[in-house]
Chains A and B, each alone.
Chain A
Amino acid sequence: MGYHMSLSIRLTINGQPRDVALDDPRVTLLDLLRERLHLTGTKKGCDRGQCGACTVLVDGRRINSCLALAASMDGAQITTIEGLADGETLHPVQATFIAHDGFQCGYCTPGQIMSAVGLINEGRAGDDPERIRELMSGNICRCGAYQGITEAVLEAQKILSDDEKRDAA
């Protein structure tokens, strides 16, 4: 099914180095993950950068993977929802999403969680719900789980910063 092209890229996905032979320049990072590597936790809601369902971390920063061409990802470190938990131990954002009922259908959830992790990494979340609402607004939740999402991010942020303080002490 080749499209007259073959390009080999090397990525690190969830800590695992992967060599990917791409036979098509049109493949987005999102479709690479979902359709070729079968990492289907990352979701497609719009394919246009308008909903955030496809959010992953690339080199620690949150991006819409539907807007990134896979071919441009050579050398990137990619973290998806599948790589967030440490074995059986959930990342604090995952745990607080469950505790605060930060989802209903769950379809936007991988993107919300990756976006929240990215936001907390950015150090901009703070403890102001208003700021969190604003900075999480690239991720649409049609079910309307926003209240739980905001509470979950606030609490996860607190857990992580307490951890940091403990580590520093």
Chain B
Amino acid sequence: MQHETASPTARHHRHGSNAGQPLTRRDGLLKVTGRATYAADNHPDGTLYAVVATSSIARGRVRSLNVEAAKAHPGVVEVLTPANRPPLAHDPDEKMPPFGFRVEVLQDDTVRYVNQPIAMVIAQSLEAATEGAALLDPRYETEPARTGPSNGTRFDPQAIGVGAPARTAHGDIEAGLAVAARVTEAEYVTPSQYHNAMEPHAIVAQWDGDRVTIDMPNQALALSCASYAAYFGIPAENVVIRSPFLGGGFGSKAILNGPQILAILAARMLGHPVKLALTRAQMYGPVGHRGRTWQKLRLGTDAQGRLTALHHHALGATSSFDEFIEPAANASLPLYASPAILAEHEGLRLDIGTPGPMRAPGEASGSAALEVAMDEAAEACGMDPLDFRLANYAETEPVTGKPFSSKALRECYVEGAKRFGWSERPLAPRTMRDENGFLVGWGMGTAVFPCPHFPAEARATLRADDTALVETGGVDMGQGAWTALAQIAAEALGLDPDQVELRSGESTLPDGGIAGGSAHTASAGMALHNAGGNAIAQLAELATADPESPLFGAGNIGVVAQAGRLHRRDDEQRGETYAAILARAGRTEVVGTAKSTRDPAVASTHAMYSHGAVFAEVKIDPDLGQIRTTRLVGAFAAGRIINPRLVRSQYFGGMIWGISFALHEEAITDRRTGRFLNADLAEYHVPVNADVPALDALLIPEDDPHVNAIGVKGVGEIGITGTVGAIANAVWHATGTRVRRFPIRMEDLLAGSSAE
């Protein structure tokens, strides 16, 4: 671990360090002993329990609620309905800037989707609140539910995802298609999926005057404080959110939702702490989901199998009252070279809860369609799918022409293919069987994910006893922030991670930015890196200005921070410990503070993405159509890897989400009522251990001098992309049947037909 600083302004070089080591999780002990505290584990004195009552219709209004029956139940303290809900300072029918959605907080009696909150019961026990909610016995005026393209309303969205343009064009698509030797055209359908983090959305809220302390799983602490402050008409600093552990987020805990606002409101109204946890079924509605898409792709190819046009059109479902359109077509923008690329989106209004970002929003659904379309085009050209992708390898960002900050995708293809044994693959489908007579298929897909950067802040206090306290309001939802951020800070401070205490997971700390977009390690990590550098620079300034220091006058040469000691860059022997510098200066500590943002100059000159290649093997029972993923190899290049153990786990998690997308997950809506048929973990299928084969994730080295000073890209979401297509393509290779609707089901194969 070394750290070089040219005083007085810090300049950083990396010399290998204990960042990069596969440390086990620093929070591991707490998690395996049950001592990690999740929101619902908090029990302030006097806690009351809230249970939200949710609608069982998709559209209409609540005609009556039996509030008297609920109130008469022993233990019930209060029933919140539109009739008595205290006012809020922000209109819930207005969007909350910058990313907030419209929320349902009992503003009126309309019902806009299934599982919308229609009342909240607060009681002295969970059992009483639950029964009180059941006693409300709502009666409705029901209107027909709009459940799909046949009865929903299509529209042209202003923006898609979180504010991206709905249409991006490069070159002339029709001209590109006109000159093509072949045009491959198909439609792909992806279902609505629900995040289903294992931890249901929970909250414990307690007020003290006009200050509120909130224990909740939250991926965006500072943003949420500002939003809650706006709803409750108090300054943002009066809102404290504690979120040391999240039981999974995947995007669903980044955005405010109605039930949690109501729980905070109930706590203020009743003068008691209030605890609320959604039931599993209630997580299908008010807390976002991955919206359904219907995607059309047209790929033109020339005689050599090079793309002449890539046209991706996505119709995305949203609610009747707000917009989050899955930016699926944008998956076709950064990956393959083509003289003409067009990505465009349309919206479809349905009677559903508003979708939201869910792990790889846009990229997951879009990559699923694109990678199957690429496979179909390769098939049409009679080419191996990997050769076809290499023939269309983008040396610069296709639409903008910008160079990539780094791109080791070719190495991912080579290493992944080698590990998998891809070169043995027969071109024709339905040609491989295993010893039990199962059909065997091999497929591949390319993975890609952008590298955003969220503004973040941090503080680093370097103490005379060779320890440091580093602080940033970061969030660990399982990706390993408690460990990786400490490693980054330790490196910046020239200390061992054991000497560094990290405080995180609370809104009172410097703003650690958003845990999302695969950007947290880079964003909060850069803030810590800069704060550490700032502390070291202060130390160096003290030493180089002090005639009694062996570093006196070394300011121009520069000093290196290593193992609790500063030494001259040109002479390792000449230096002294942090403790000695501080002692002579009569100081007990130096405090470094810093922010991190993306350098706009670099952003304007470079395109930044993580890349990967995923190879899948499936085995399919020829009689039953049962599909099993038997092998999955992913090779990913994502800049510098801070902790390979945790990064591998992130890739595995993403790849398992890919298996899930390809073969398992789908929320099924009853077209007659708009209700879900499977809003539970038994019938909404997510992979269990037996669904997941031995996985392989290769960490392909990649040095990125541009993305940020620590060279870190993102790893949390990329594993889904590529994997879905790889599995779908393997299913085709095994059976010769091209299924274009996800998840792929055994009946799709038994029918022997193409997609609906």
The segment from B287-295, B335-343, B681-689 that touches chain A is B681-689
Does B199 lie within 8 Å of A35, measured CB to CB? no
Q: Among residues 85 to 124 in chain A, which have CB atoms less than 8 Å away from a CB atom of chain B?
A: 85, 90, 94-95, 97-99, 101, 103-110, 113
**B18, chain A: closest CB distance, angstroms:** 18
Chain A proximity of B373: nearest CB distance (Å)? 26
Closest to B476 in A: A105
The answer to whether A147 and B695 touch across the interface, beta carbons within 8 angstroms, is: yes
Q: Is the CB of B680 within 8 A of A45?
A: no
Tell me if A3 and B686 are in contact (CB < 8 A).
no
Q: Are B200 and A110 in contact (CB under 8 A)?
A: no
Q: Which of B32, B75, B124, B197 contacts A142 (CB 8 A)?
A: B197
A38 CB, min distance to chain B CBs, angstroms: 6
Do B34 and A137 have beta carbons less than 8 Å apart? no
Q: Determine if B694 and A147 form an interchain contact, defined as CB atoms under 8 angstroms apart.
A: yes
Q: Chain B at the A interface: mostly helix, strand, loop or mixed? A: loop
The answer on a CB contact under 8 Å between B199 and A43 is yes
Most chain A Cβ neighbours within 10 Å, of B124, B198, B249, B680? B198
Q: Are B689 and A51 in contact (CB under 8 A)?
A: no
Answer whether A110 and B34 are a contact pair too, CB < 8 Å, given A31-B127, A101-B24, A104-B649.
yes
* A139 CB–B CB distance under 8 Å: yes
Q: How far is the CB of A102 from chain B (nearest CB, A)?
A: 9
Q: For A3, give its contact among B128, B246, B249, B280 (CB under 8 Å).
A: B128
Residues in B whose Cβ lies below 8 Å from that of A7: none
> Whole-angstrom distance from the CB of B28 to the nearest CB of chain A?
4
Asked if A157 is at the interface of the complex by the 8 Å CB criterion, the answer is no
Chain A residues with Cβ under 8 A from B654's Cβ? 144
Q: Are A105 and B478 in contact (CB under 8 A)?
A: yes
Distance to closest chain B CB from A7 (angstroms): 14
A80, B34: Cβ atoms under 8 Å? yes
Q: Given A35-B126, A45-B198, A106-B36: A144 and B657 within 8 A (CB)?
A: yes
A-B pairs with CB below 8 Å: how many?
196
The answer for the CA separation of A4 and B197 in the assembled complex, in Å, is: 37
Q: Is the CB of A101 within 8 A of B645?
A: yes
Beta-carbon contact of B127 and A145 below 8 Å: no
Assess the B247–A148 pair: CB atoms within 8 A.
Answer: no
Chain B residues, CB < 8 A from A4: 74
Q: How large is the interface on B (under 10, 10 to 19, 20 to 34, 35 or more residues)?
A: 35 or more
Task: Give the contact-size bracket for chain A.
Answer: 35 or more
A137 touching B33, Cβ below 8 Å? no
On whether the beta carbons of A1 and B197 are closer than 8 Å, the reply is: no
Q: Which of B17-34 contact A (CB under 8 A)?
A: 24-25, 27-34
Point out residues on A near B: beta carbons under 8 Å.
1-4, 24, 26-27, 31, 34-35, 38-48, 50-51, 53, 80-82, 84-85, 90, 94-95, 97-99, 101, 103-110, 113, 129, 132-134, 136-150
Q: A1-B125, A145-B649 are in contact. List 12 more A-B contacts (CB 8 A).
A: A24-B127, A26-B130, A47-B280, A50-B682, A94-B32, A101-B649, A132-B689, A133-B689, A133-B692, A144-B654, A144-B687, A146-B692
For the complex of A and B, list the 6 residue pairs with the smallest distance between their C-beta atoms, beginning with the closest. A41-B34, A107-B247, A104-B478, A105-B478, A144-B656, A106-B31
Q: List 23 A-B contacts (CB under 8 A).
A: A1-B123, A26-B130, A39-B34, A40-B40, A50-B682, A81-B33, A97-B28, A98-B29, A101-B648, A105-B198, A108-B198, A113-B32, A129-B694, A134-B689, A136-B689, A140-B686, A141-B689, A142-B197, A142-B686, A143-B478, A143-B649, A144-B652, A150-B689
